[in-house]
Structure 1
């Protein structure tokens, strides 16, 4: 199952470690440190401010799509697999 995360990019759902909302990460010093350590793996898909962060084992994506929307997409796809 693949999930569209913005800018014509789809990633495999099983590769996602975490989806975080922008509000949670923008005020977190730990997350800023995480981003600094993984600068070479950050891919910004948002032309403006990002709405969510998707962490995989290979990359950290800054997505223009809200975390709630990404969650709904993953649930909808899971439901389609069972039908």
Structure 2
């Protein structure tokens, strides 16, 4: 399943490792170091970021809140489970 994460980007839900609040980045030296050392792709702008999505293929900055993204992931999971039950 795919979810829209803002900034005209979509990501597969099974690729998501973690979704964290962007404010954690500025308060954690470990998070800053992790972003700097990440050798993968970074998608999106930090300018209006409210959350950071760590995925298997990239790190995504999203203008959507952690709560909104979490709801979208769970809504897709529930829809998928209902769809599978119907079949």
TM range (shorter): 0.7 to 0.9
In structure 1, stretches of 5+ residues that fail to align are: none
Poorly superposed stretches of 4+, deviation over 3 Å: none
Q: Summarize the Cα distance change of 1:22–1:37 in structure 2 as closer, same or farther, 3 Å threshold.
A: same
TM-score relative to the length of structure 1: 0.87
Retained in 2: the 8 A contact 1:19–1:52? Answer: yes
Distance in 2 (alpha carbons) for counterparts of 1:49 and 1:10: 17
Number of residue pairs the alignment of both structures matches: 82
Retained in 2: the 8 A contact 1:22–1:50? Answer: yes
CA RMSD of aligned residues (A): 1.6
Compute the displacement of 1:23 (Å): 1.9
Structure (1 or 2) with the larger CA radius of gyration = 2
